[in-house]
Amino acid sequence: MAYLEGNNLVAAYGPVPILHECSVEVEKGELAVIVGPNGAGKSTAMKVLLGMLEASSGSVIFDGQDITHLSTQERISLGLAFVPQTKNVFTSMTVQENLEMGGFLRDDDIKHTIQEVYDLFPILYEKRKQNAGELSGGQRQQVAFGRAMMTRPTVMLLDEPTAGVSPIVMDEIFSNILDLKNSGRAVLMVEQNAQQALNIADKGFVLVSGRNEHIGTGKELIADPEVRKKFLGG
């Protein structure tokens, strides 16, 4: 049994079915990537894992515990964290306040964790008194990661972390993600840049129309001619 797994998830937005028996999983210290064309249900799968959308059938298991019916907040306090693709920082609040809000659920001293985030992203320490809305795309993404790390999560779910950033910043973000993974966390991300993402991924899920089309290690999927042809541009 994997550390976090979604089994045979079925979900819909109102009458529109999105996921059909889709399964994803990730282990501790592992980076898993969900790739696939637009509208394949990648983000939806993530929302179901987080409890932001209810699955009509299937189950979500975290650390051996069935969390299918827990609220988002309960899942967050268990150790899941989510970085949304857009609107992932409090733009009118300072970097420091963003981190404080990330640690909202914690009753203990969060200074130490804030310091850890600053150690990981030194630029954020310099900008700690600036509003997050004034930062560059890459820095914002670091604030978003930092906010999510404040609950000291064991699983981080990232929705297209490199959407809309320059190639240089993208490399930086991927290296941040590898840091997260190497610190022992489980990282599951949805990614548009399939080639680069699968290159660094331990595990990949190719989703098409809400179904698992291919599952394998990152390398296997890149080597698979069918996946190459359909999703990686030959």
Partner 1 sequence: MVSESVDIVNAFALLTNFVILPAIAYGSQLALGALAVTLVYSVLRFSNFAQGDSMAFGTMLVILLSGYLISRGWTITGIPTALLVIPVAIIGMAVYLLTMDRLIYRHYRKIKAKSITIVMTSIGVMFITGGIVRFVLGASAQRFEDGERFIFSVREFKAFTGLEQGIALKTSQFLTITIAVLLVAFVFYFLQKTKTGKAMRAYSDNKELALLSGINPDKVVQITWLLVAGLTTIAGALYGLDKGFAPQQYHLLLLPIFASVIVGGIGSPLGAIAGAFLIAFSEALLTYAYKKFLIYLLPLSMHPTSLVQLIGTEYKYAISFVILVIVLLIKPTGLFKGKVIVDE
Residues that bind partner 1 (CB under 8 A): 50, 72-73, 76-77, 82, 84, 87-93, 97, 100-102, 104-105, 147-148, 150-151
Shortest reach from residue 104's CB to partner 1, in Å: 5
Nearest residue (CB) to partner 1, 46 versus 221: 46
CB 199 within 8 A of CB 222: yes
Q: How far is the CB of 46 from partner 1 (least distance, A)?
A: 12
Tell me the sheet residues that pair with 13: 16
Q: How near is the Cβ of 49 to partner 1 at its closest, in Å?
A: 13
CB of 92 to partner 1, least distance (A): 5
Q: Pick between residue 106 and residue 228 the one whose CB is nearest to partner 1.
A: 106
Residue among 36 and 103 whose Cβ is closer to partner 1: 103
Q: In whole angstroms, what is the distance from residue 200 CA to residue 173 CA? A: 12
Q: How far apart are CA 49 and CA 67, in angstroms?
A: 9
The residue to which tokens 């306040």 are assigned: 97
Q: Between 38 and 92, whose beta carbon lies closer to partner 1?
A: 92
177-183: Cβ within 8 A, 24+ apart: 177/31, 178/31, 179/120, 180/145, 180/149, 180/156, 181/29, 181/30, 181/31, 182/29
